[in-house]
A and B are shown apart, each in its own frame.
Chain A
Amino acid sequence: MRQRPTAATVLAAFCAALLGSGAAAVAKDLPRREVRDLHYGDVLFQFFQDDYFDAVVRLEAARDFGRLPNHAAEAELLAGGMYLSLGLHAEADRIFNRLLAGSLDSSVADRALFYLARIGYQRGHDEQAARNLARIQGPLPGELEPERRLLESNVLMALGRYADAAAALRVWDDESSWAAFARFNLGVALVRSGDAAQGRMLLESVGSAPAVSEEERSLRDRANLALGFALLQERSGEAAAAALSRVRLDGPFTNRALLGLGWAETDAGRHDRALVPWLALRDRPLLDSSVQESLLAVPYAYARLASNGQAAQHYRQAVQSYLRESGRIDESIAAIQRGGFLDAILASSPRGGDVGWFWQLKQVPDAPHTRYLYHLLASHEFQEGLKNYRDLRIMQVNLERWQDSLDSFDDMIAARTRALAEREPRKADMLGRTDVEALATRQAGLAARVAAIEAARDVAAVASGDEARQWRTLQGVEQRVAALPPGPGREALADRVRMLRGALTWQMDAQYKRRLQLVKRGLAEVHAQLGEARGRVGLVHEASAQAPLDTTGFAARIAELRSRIARIGPGIDAATRAQESVLQTLAVHELAAQKRRLASYATQAQFALAAIYDGAAAKVGP
């Protein structure tokens, strides 16, 4: 992980902010694209609200369900960005490398390379970052392109390639805030590397540029502050004073600028004018290192102006102030060592997904355990640790919620099992009374009979009720006529019966085709209904077999998830304790350093006081 100098100033708190939160934020600047899978849009809905955890969970679930077929590469890129935001660098790295290995789409590959370069830079792997940046083929979409350029210049500077960084900046000819930030970074880096002239030129250009927005004004202040101190190092007091005077009086860099302004005036030999900014500083809260320094600077100026009485008085006040502050630091160290200070901090911090909540910690109450918190945040390690600690506490709450949900799921499974058991007798009774196959046999018998009727053209077999009755009557009459003694009377009756038979047969024959069709259609319908019934019975059997498997399956999944919760829970508890211990150590380390600095200032004040007394004694001496 990239290490930076930790400065116990509010100023440095702004510098030291975050590693790893930017990727997702930048991903948001990508142009809006049409959502072709609703569940991808659902992920974006959470993502755009900075709820990266929920968004990444939904994304992973949607992928498992196969619901993102049209956004596979985008989803992978988004997942990588979100893992990066959640501090999962290793996972993000793995994803971007996988994307890079598999993607034929150059825009996806370019973005993966950009993120990999960003991770590399954040981890101090500058050569690797430079290689990945060099492989990017085309301009990146939206706001990613200026950020790529900024990253490129940062990486080149980290590699000590200031000339290359300057060359890259020269071809970046737009006047965006991004370019101004890059010029500022390079200006500072050049001054530090020894090329003061070019560094000052860059800082001068940023420090005198028009500023409209708060971020622009803040950047201008930083540039003037850096320029002022660079000039002070070169003993150019006049120019330094001019630069430092441009820093706003109500910004986060005011204290540092006032201190520097005093030294610039001193450098120019104007000790009386040096007192103006330093006296303004000494009334400010003593938490700030510039204010602490001003307590020594004020009597120094008085001494240089030969006002030894006032100098002595201010040195005495300084010693008292340092001791008082040192005592307050002791209280804070004791409070932090008692533990629980992080929970007090988090209790007063707002809920939110991004690192923005850090800056709102400025509002924490002035209690011993929180008094120096904002200054501790100047340390990147403390910030990262506090973020981890907060994440761990959120994770604990998350697990507790799921634990409750699993209990409800258990109840649900138990209720389903009971309902199944209750339904079983009714189901068995219903199925016992339903013999679909017997019905099918009957239907088949009917179908065979109809086939025989059709084959024999047995018109009487499909006669109407009246016709069938008349047909039977006629058959009875026919038999009775046949039983009569032969003679003219029987013949006459037989003729009449034949005539009636012919008429009835003609009548039935006329209707035969239609009637047969009706019968066949009815049979077909019965056949279809039988098939449907057979299917339904099958579904009932299937559901009966599946339901216990489903409930057993769900129960097994619940048991497995419960065991995972049981395993992760203590891991989170242990990591929380370890994280708290790390932060305690860091905080105590930082506060102890502050104490040492105060002790050193107090000693300097006492020596100076002694020197004044010695001087005074020498004057009145023999």
Chain B
Amino acid sequence: MSRRIPAAARRAAILVAALALASVAAGAPASGEATQADGVDRDVQTLKKELVDLNKDLFKLEEELLYPASTQVAVFLSVDVGTFFALDSVTLKVDDKEVTNYLYTEREVQALHRGGVQRLYLGSLKAGEHELVALFTGKGPHERDYRRGTTLRIAKGVGASYIELKISDRVASLQPEFVVKVWE
């Protein structure tokens, strides 16, 4: 049985196969054009790197300005196996106030299944006791509509708090399991 080859690699794979064994080949661009194109390519590479660095600094500024480390709370969502649950959406409430309601695309679900972890929510909370409620909707075993909630009480101290909501499989009961983990 043949394995599938990613499209990009497949195209790259036949680079050398100039199958114009009898093709009507147009000439390669004149060297002047190639030089100009190379020069522009170098400029674009430099600009792209500057833009990555700029975006990084803006990303950091935004986070530090809007969600200072002393009050920051980040909620992440991950999927471990996830055979028994097809995720459609997650609603997150903090102290009974809805802070996010996220609908997933197929692409995002696939990214989660491959090991990606979504930063579902980033916010600020004062020090003290808080309640987080996450509601998961999707399809459970046997394609049945499935809706489950999980609650976590956290004692927010000084410093950033990271919370992971993990969808995993409870093999014994063939049911999905929703685990909350507070990262130190």
Contact = CB atoms under 8 A, between A and B. Distances in A.
Nearest to B14: A15
A532 to B, nearest CB: 15
B17 A184 contact: yes
A222 B20 CA distance: 11
A296 B114 CA distance: 54
Contact of B3 (A26, A177, A232): A177
B22 A229 contact: yes
Contacts of A398: 51, 55
Contacts of B12: 17-19, 21-22
A260 B22 contact: yes
A15 B49 contact: no
Contact of B28 (A3, A65, A178): A3
Contacts of A17: 8, 11-12
Contact of B47 (A22, A392, A582): A392
Contacts of B65: 409, 412-413, 554
Contact of B54 (A89, A143, A188, A568): A568
Interface in A70-90: 86-90
A233 B24 contact: no
Contacts of A175: 2
A28 B3 CA distance: 15
Interface string B1-32: 01111111111111111111111111111100
Interface in A121-163: 143, 146-147, 150, 154, 157-158
Given A5-B28, A579-B40, A11 B48 contact: no
Contacts of A90: 45
A395 B47 CA distance: 9
A216 B112 CA distance: 30
Contacts of B115: 32-33, 35, 41, 44, 48
A571 B78 CA distance: 40
Contact of B44 (A5, A188, A579): A579
Given A22-B8, A575-B40, A154 B56 contact: no
B24 A597 contact: yes
A38 B76 contact: yes
Nearest to A2: B15
A281 interface: no
B111 A178 contact: no
B13 A150 contact: yes
Nearest to A553: B64
A87 B44 contact: yes
A388 B39 CA distance: 12
Contact of B30 (A28, A557, A589): A589
A469 B140 CA distance: 79
A375 to B, nearest CB: 10
B15 A41 contact: no
Contacts, number: 306
A582 B116 contact: no
Interface in A378-435: 379, 381, 384-385, 388, 391-392, 395, 398-399, 402, 405-406, 409, 412-413
Contacts of A222: 14, 17, 19
Contacts of B26: 6-8, 590, 593-594, 597
Interface residues of B, number: 77
Interface string A228-255: 0110110000000000000000000000
B131 interface: no
Given A38-B117, A212-B2, A91 B21 contact: no
B116 A409 contact: no
A181 B76 CA distance: 41
Given A225-B19, A230-B21, A597-B24, A57 B59 contact: yes
A41 B117 contact: yes
Contacts of A557: 57, 61
Secondary structure class of chain A's binding surface, majority of residues: helix
Contact of A41 (B18, B53, B78, B108): B78
B79 to A, nearest CB: 10
B41 interface: yes
Interface in A579-613: 579, 581-582, 585-586, 589-590, 593-594, 597
B107 to A, nearest CB: 5
A61 B18 contact: no
Interface of B: 2-30, 33-34, 36-41, 43-45, 47-66, 74, 76, 78, 107-108, 110-112, 114-119, 162, 164, 183
Given A11-B20, A157-B16, 5 more contacts: A6-B28, A7-B20, A22-B8, A412-B66, A568-B54
Interface of A: 1-9, 11-12, 14-15, 17-19, 21-22, 25-26, 28-29, 32-33, 35, 38-42, 44-49, 53, 56-58, 60-61, 64-65, 86-91, 143, 146-147, 150, 154, 157-158, 175-178, 180-182, 184-185, 188-189, 191-192, 212-213, 215-216, 222, 225-226, 229-230, 232-233, 256, 260, 289, 293, 354-356, 379, 381, 384-385, 388, 391-392, 395, 398-399, 402, 405-406, 409, 412-413, 554, 557-558, 561, 564-565, 568, 571-572, 574-575, 578-579, 581-582, 585-586, 589-590, 593-594, 597
**Nearest 9 CB-CB pairs, A to B?**
A41-B117, A45-B116, A17-B11, A48-B111, A229-B21, A181-B13, A229-B22, A60-B56, A44-B116
16 contacts: A7-B24, A9-B20, A12-B19, A15-B14, A25-B6, A40-B117, A87-B41, A88-B52, A177-B10, A180-B2, A188-B16, A293-B24, A381-B37, A388-B41, A391-B48, A572-B47
